[in-house]
Amino acid sequence: MRRFALFMLIGLAGAGPALAVQPDEILPDAALEQRARAISGGLRCLVCQNQSIDESDAPLARDLRILVRERLQTGDSDGAVRDFVVARYGEFVLLSPPLSWRTAALWSAPFLILMTSLAYIGRRSRRMAAPVSPTTPLSDDERLRIDRLMQD
């Protein structure tokens, strides 16, 4: 049983990420293929939204992989290919978008919500911990009235 477990562990350790690139998509030029893989690894699959187009089996991801390779074969630089895809599909297609005012607002929103919540909780706890003003003792008329109410 231990040998089997060890064999499984070694097998899983050697398994790398599964890439969805089909053999018919691979470029004959190894340098261009390497560039295509680097670009594809940074582009989000618009169907899966949690994988790069290099890892996704979705038909749209395949189309994008082919588009990247076609643009590279025409002589575009890596940046030009990325810019072309972004112009066509928007910044959402980038797995790690560049820092801009929109992305800064997106990343800072959780911290702003947390700070606002902590400030609110702090104010509430200070308000609840504030000493209660001492009550004034009951007058004789008020005590008599309470006694009458209790007897009835």
Which tens digits make up the pLDDT trace of 51-86? 888 888 888 989 999 999 999 999 999 999 999 999
pLDDT of 17 higher than 50? no
* Domain interval for residue 30: 15-93
Please indicate, yes or no, whether residues 83 and 112 belong to a single structural domain of this protein.
Answer: no
Please indicate, yes or no, whether residues 19 and 84 belong to a single structural domain of this protein.
Answer: yes
Tally of domains within the chain: 2
pLDDT of 6 higher than 70? no
Which tens digit of pLDDT belongs to each residue from 106-138? 788 899 999 999 999 988 888 777 676 777 888
Residue 148 located in a structural domain: no
Task: Convert 136-148 to b/e letters by CB count within 10 Å (16 or more is b).
Answer: eeeeeeeeeeeee
